[in-house]
């Protein structure tokens, strides 16, 4: 089967986390509406293979963290490193710079930590310059948890879950 793809848009840089997430690079600006794309194509052994996107997080203007359907382990993700990726041909021409996820809309989401442990419900978001915080109900207390591009793993709007890396000892304060 012949797939119609765009020109190469970037490369898979490396695995991210233990659940099969990947960090990808963009050869140009972050494509507009990339968060809403259903799939990407990855060049494997001289052919292009479609993969459905589970979620996308803009990391920098030229990188993102993605999760592909059926890539669920660190080992599977590591095998994808260095491969070139494409968008479907009908998705091209959407150039621009996609903004980072709007964290102010996370009230009511369940926060989980880097070990997939549920922490609590997000009750508030505070955007302090260079120190965004999520207020989360944890063991009857409101805890401020910093969230940024380095600590954010993913946001799943369908399941209303946000996964971040929580600094060791923060919850015990």
Positive/negative CA dihedral, 88, 91, 96, 102:
negative
Beta strands in the chain (DSSP E): 10-16, 21-25, 39-44, 47-60, 63-68, 84-86, 110-112, 118-128, 131-138, 141-146, 152-156, 161-164
Closest C-alpha among 109, 131, 130, 105 to residue 120:
109
C-alpha–C-alpha distance, residues 86 and 71, integer Å: 17
C-alpha–C-alpha distance, residues 74 and 76, integer Å: 6
Model confidence pLDDT, tens digit, residues 52-71 = 998 888 777 788 899 999 99
Q: For residue 116, how many other CB atoms are within 10 A of its CB?
A: 12
- Where in the chain are the domains? 10-91, 103-172
Residue 29: per-residue pLDDT: 58
Q: pTM score > 0.85 for this model? A: no
Is 20 or 100 the better-scoring residue by pLDDT? Answer: 20
CATH 2.40.30.60 is right for the domain spanning 10-91: yes
Model confidence pLDDT, tens digit, residues 72-130 = 999 999 999 999 998 776 654 433 333 455 677 788 899 998 888 899 999 988 877 67
Fold entry, domain 103-172: SH3 type barrels. (2.30.30)
Provide mean pLDDT across the span 26-52: 79
Phi, psi angle pair for 35, to nearest 5°: -60, -25
């Amino acid at each position: 089967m012949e797939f119609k793809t765009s020109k190469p848009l970037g490369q898979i840089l490396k695995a991210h986390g233990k659940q099969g997430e990947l960090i990808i690079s963009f050869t140009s600006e972050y494509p507009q509406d990339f968060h809403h794309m259903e799939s990407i194509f990855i060049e494997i052994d001289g052919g292009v293979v479609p993969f459905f996107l589970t979620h996308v997080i803009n990391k920098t203007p030229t990188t993102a963290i993605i999760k592909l359907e059926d890539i669920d382990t660190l080992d599977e993700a590591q095998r994808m490193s260095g491969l070139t990726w494409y968008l479907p041909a009908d998705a091209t021409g959407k150039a621009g710079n996609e903004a980072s996820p709007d964290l102010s809309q996370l009230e009511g989401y369940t926060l989980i930590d880097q070990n997939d442990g549920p922490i609590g419900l997000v009750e508030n978001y505070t955007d302090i310059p260079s120190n965004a915080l999520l207020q989360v109900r944890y063991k009857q207390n409101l805890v401020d948890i910093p969230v940024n591009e380095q600590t954010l793993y993913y946001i799943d709007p369908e399941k209303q879950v946000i996964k971040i890396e929580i600094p060791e000892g923060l919850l015990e304060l």
